[in-house]
């Protein structure tokens, strides 16, 4: 996430370079003082706490992949794509199913991946349009007063528990969407995508706004000076300058959409189909873990397979986060912030 | 001329889409209030579920939510505040702090269900089972319990605490630290006496936000301690005083909504209870969020005035 410019430190640099560094204010001071044992102990304690986040991420890696690798060792790799079964006539055929319970458990990951993306991609598209528009409005168009009212409002939207959105999709919105669009399934990927997009709009909005605010005002002033209108400045100068930050917002939004659990668990119907039809019932990776882990024997094949699904999910979102961070870093360097 | 028309249209579109987002929020709130307001009563808030979960109140769920939020903050706040103090006041700009920041950012992006898997795999099966083996007290720690659910949520909200505390610490002007150092204060004295008192409102904001975030999460506690129904509160007598029992399972509001809406015997029949529970949860999280946002804005404004 783009950290906002620190409180400006007027005494330290000329006024012509507003917020031009990400200085950590006081590091370095400690070397000037003789340090007592107590001071050293306190610093060590703080340091250990500081590295806790690193340790936790490492532990998550370790404990997900420890079980996930077990699944890879125990279940033949080809089974994660499809399983060959014989139909009632005795002809062998390959099926792509996630059916971990039964005599012949099937562990195809394809329907789960398909389901996850069928929710996450439309959700990111919808939320992207709304989120970027909101971000542009809040950063470039809104008056200070409108901003002061609207921004907390949108932040409140981010504060709605996801289970509440999932519940509304399940209880009310599902019926409305089915009546309006005449879909076969009441609970489907599209409904899940709508629910998920409600959750990620605030994320994309605030990151887009941050990115646009990070664009130096000299650029805007120069554009106006050349006779551009406000919208020409936004479309031709500000947004292109902030495009890395806005892409990072979309990437992070997509990561959130892929990882969203309660909404998809309640709103997508949880039928593991391989389809590209956004109005069909789907089963996502997150919902599979949430629905099955509670009722599975520890250390069993299915248990390990579910950890593998979790590990894949973690790897995907981790990659998206790192990519987004690199993109933001690039923008920061280009704008010399 | 044409550019002006296009510009006006596009600006109008941005404004319209923003209004739509706000309207969606208003609609959501409206639906919840309309659906839930009729259900809320003193009996609903203080009673326990009866008639096979189709009647009665949600007091055990409210109680569980409060308990787990308290436990979570107790775990996450010291860790997160200490980490932020280290990052801002001690660490400087080296490789270590950069790694920590990257880890915090990534932690914020980990899907909540992954935290659930981690809570089960690490806290319950690894930490809990090994504690049981070492202590030889029979199965006590190695099972889903409030302690582990709170620990899982504490990890989930850790980035929230760290980022808000960092912001609060950075807002303290450098000159105040310089003045303290000039008077001969040690680094910790500077932090303790000069920085922390000023950063206090910001840290409080982070704590409130983390509570509201944690109270609304369901996926991490699905396997780490939530119960559909418990005949008793997770309370135990300790030295004659009733205390929260962190080794017991608990009921929780968000989980209650989920389980009632998807797995109760008659989801239509219990719809009012579901809406009522949703309303209670939303009021709880909104009250917390609103407090946090207002505190933070006031804090930021004061800081802005101090600098200009």
pLDDT > 70 fraction of chain B, expressed in percent and rounded: 97
Residue A47 and residue B11: Cβ atoms within 8 Å? Answer: no
Which CATH number characterizes residue A279's domain?
Answer: 1.10.3720.10
CB contact under 8 A, B86 and A50: yes
- Residues B188-205: what's their mean pLDDT? 90
**What pLDDT is stored for residue A10 in this prediction?**
39
User: What residue of B is the nearest CA neighbor of A231?
Assistant: B7
Q: Which domains are seen in chain B, by residue range?
A: 59-225+232-247+280-307 (1.10.3720.10)
When pLDDT is averaged across residues B200-205 and rounded to a whole number, the result is: 88
Residues of A in contact with B83 (CB under 8 A): 46, 49-50, 52-53
pLDDT at residue A35, rounded to an integer = 61
pLDDT (tens digit per residue) in A293-334: 888 877 788 888 999 999 999 999 999 999 998 888 888 888
- β-strands B241-244, A106-107 pairing: unpaired
Per-residue pLDDT reduced to its tens digit, B115-168: 999 999 999 989 988 888 888 776 678 888 899 999 999 999 999 999 999 999
d(CA A134, CA B22): 10
pLDDT at A282 over 80: yes
Region for residue A97 given its phi and psi (left: phi exceeds 0; alpha: psi -120 to 50; beta: otherwise): beta
Closest CA to A160 of B214, B259, B282, B288: B282
The mean pLDDT value for B9-21 works out to: 92
- Chain A / chain B CB contacts < 8 angstroms: 319
Burial (CB count within 10 angstroms: exposed 0-12, middle 13-18, buried 19+), residue A47: middle
Mark yes or no for CB contact B111/A317 under 8 Å: yes
Average pLDDT estimate for B278-302: 85
Whether A291 maps to a domain, the answer reads: yes
Contacts of B172 in chain A (CB under 8 A): 7, 25
Half-sphere exposure (CA, 13 Å, Cβ side) for B188?
14
pLDDT tens per residue, range A167-208? 999 888 888 888 888 888 888 889 999 999 999 999 999 999
Would an 8 Å CB–CB cutoff place B202 in contact with chain A?
no
Contact A280, A273 (CB under 8 A): yes
Cβ distance of B190 and A57 shorter than 8 Å: no
> Six-digit token pair at A98?
């996630």
Whether A20 has a pLDDT exceeding 70, the answer reads: no
Touching A: B residues 102-121, CB under 8 Å: 102-118, 120-121
B256 to chain A: which residues are within 8 Å by CB? none
pLDDT at B169: 93
Q: What is the pLDDT of residues A114-137, one digit of tens each?
A: 999 999 999 999 999 999 999 999
Shortest CA gap B235–chain A (Å): 24
Nearest CA distance, A13 vs chain B (angstrom): 13
Chain A residues closer than 8 Å to B216 by CB: 159-164
Q: Tens digits of per-residue pLDDT, A57-69?
A: 999 999 999 888 8
Residue in B11, B174, B271 closest to A26 by CB? B174
Q: Is residue A36 part of a domain?
A: no
User: What part of A 93-112 touches B (C-beta under 8 Å)?
Assistant: none
- Per the domain annotation, does A206 fall within a domain? yes
Residue A86 reports pLDDT greater than 80? no
Closest CA to A199 of A123, A269, A139, A132: A123
Task: Output the pLDDT for position A34.
Answer: 52
Task: Decide if A295 is inside a domain.
Answer: yes
Per-residue confidence (pLDDT) for residue B304, from 0 to 100: 62
Percent of chain A clearing pLDDT 70 (strictly above): 89
Per-residue pLDDT at B18 exceeds 60: yes
Which domain, by its residues, includes A222?
Answer: 109-334
Tens digit of each residue's pLDDT (9 = 90 or more) over A226-254: 999 899 999 999 999 999 999 999 999 99
By the CB < 8 Å criterion, does A220 face chain B?
no
Residues 6+ apart with CB under 8 A from A252: A1, A203, A204, A207, A320, A321, A324, B109
Quote the CA–CA distance of A28 and A25 in Å, as a whole number.
9
Determine the residue of chain B that is closest to A128 in CA distance: B17
Neighbours of B119 (CB within 10 A): 27
ipTM surpasses 0.90? no
Task: Give the separation between CA B191 and CA B179, rounded to whole angstroms.
Answer: 12
B 250-279 near A (Cβ less than 8 A): 254-255, 257-258, 261-262, 271, 274-275, 278
Residue A76 falls inside a structural domain? no
Classify residue A197: in a domain, yes or no: yes
Minimal CA separation from A211 to chain B, in Å: 17
pLDDT band for position B196 (50/70/90)?
Answer: very high
Q: Does residue A319 fall inside a structural domain? A: yes
Q: What Å distances lie between residue B250 and A279, A293, B63, B212, CA to CA?
A: 37, 19, 9, 18
Mean pLDDT computed over every residue of chain B: 87
Q: How many domains does chain A have?
A: 1
Residues of B in contact with A130 (CB under 8 A): 17, 20-21
Vertex A189 angle, CA A314 and B221, to 5°: 45
Residue A87 lies in a domain: no
């Amino acid at each position: 996430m783009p950290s906002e410019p620190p409180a400006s430190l007027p005494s330290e640099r000329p006024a012509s370079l507003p917020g031009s560094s990400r200085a950590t204010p006081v590091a370095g001071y400690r070397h000037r003082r003789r340090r007592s044992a107590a001071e050293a102990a306190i610093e060590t304690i703080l340091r250990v706490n500081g590295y806790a986040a690193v340790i936790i991420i490492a532990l998550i890696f370790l404990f997900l992949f420890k079980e996930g690798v077990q699944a890879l060792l125990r279940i033949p790799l080809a089974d994660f794509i499809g399983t060959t079964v014989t139909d009632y006539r005795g002809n062998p055929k390959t099926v792509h199913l996630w059916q971990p319970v039964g005599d012949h458990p099937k562990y195809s990951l394809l329907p789960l991946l398909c389901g996850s993306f069928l929710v996450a991609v439309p959700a990111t598209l919808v939320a992207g349009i709304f989120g970027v528009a909101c971000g542009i409005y809040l950063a470039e168009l809104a008056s200070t007063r409108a901003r002061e009212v609207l921004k907390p409002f949108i932040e409140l939207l981010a504060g709605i528990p996801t289970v509440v959105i999932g519940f509304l999709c399940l209880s009310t919105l599902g019926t409305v969407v089915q009546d309006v669009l005449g879909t076969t399934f009441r609970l489907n990927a599209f409904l899940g995508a709508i629910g998920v997009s409600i959750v990620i709009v605030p994320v994309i909005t605030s990151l887009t706004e941050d990115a646009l605010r990070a664009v130096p005002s000299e650029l805007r002033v120069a554009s106006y000076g050349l006779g551009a209108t406000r919208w020409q400045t936004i479309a031709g100068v500000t947004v292109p300058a902030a495009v890395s930050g806005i892409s990072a917002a979309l990437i992070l939004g997509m990561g959130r959409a892929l990882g969203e659990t309660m909404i998809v668990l309640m709103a997508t119907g949880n039928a593991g189909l391989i389809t590209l039809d956004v109005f069909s019932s789907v089963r996502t990776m997150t919902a599979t873990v949430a629905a099955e882990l509670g009722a599975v024997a520890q250390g069993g094949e299915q248990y390990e397979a579910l950890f593998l699904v979790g590990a894949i999910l973690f790897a995907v979102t981790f990659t998206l986060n790192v990519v987004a961070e690199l993109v933001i870093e690039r923008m920061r360097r280009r704008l010399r912030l | 001329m044409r550019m002006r028309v296009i510009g006006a249209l596009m600006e109008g579109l941005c404004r319209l889409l923003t209004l739509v987002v706000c309207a969606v929020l208003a609609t959501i709130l409206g639906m919840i209030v309309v659906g839930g307001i009729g259900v809320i009563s003193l009996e609903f808030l203080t009673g326990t579920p009866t008639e096979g979960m189709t009647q009665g109140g949600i007091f055990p769920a409210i109680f569980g939510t409060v308990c787990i939020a308290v436990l979570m903050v107790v775990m996450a706040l010291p860790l997160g505040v200490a980490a932020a103090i280290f990052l801002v006041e001690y660490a400087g700009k080296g490789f270590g702090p950069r790694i920590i920041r990257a880890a915090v950012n990534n932690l914020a992006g980990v899907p909540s269900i992954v935290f659930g898997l981690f809570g089960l795999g690490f806290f319950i099966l690894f930490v809990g089972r090994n504690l049981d083996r070492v202590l030889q007290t029979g199965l006590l720690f190695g099972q889903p319990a409030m302690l582990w659910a709170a620990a899982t949520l504490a990890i989930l909200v850790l980035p929230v605490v760290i980022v808000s505390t960092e912001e609060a610490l950075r807002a303290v002007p450098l000159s105040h630290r310089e003045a303290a150092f000039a008077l001969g204060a040690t680094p910790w004295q500077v932090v303790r006496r000069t920085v922390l008192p000023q950063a206090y409102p910001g840290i409080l904001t982070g704590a409130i936000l983390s509570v509201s975030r944690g109270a609304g999460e369901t996926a991490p506690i699905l396997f780490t301690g939530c119960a559909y129904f418990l005949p008793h509160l997770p309370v135990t007598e300790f030295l004659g005083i009733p205390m929260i029992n962190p080794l017991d399972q608990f009921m929780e509001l968000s989980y209650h909504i989920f389980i009632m809406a998807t797995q109760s015997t008659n989801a239509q029949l219990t719809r009012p209870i579901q809406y009522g529970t949703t309303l209670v949860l939303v009021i709880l999280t909104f009250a917390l969020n609103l407090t946090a946002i207002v505190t933070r804005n006031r804090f930021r404004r004061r800081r802005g005035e101090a600098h200009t």
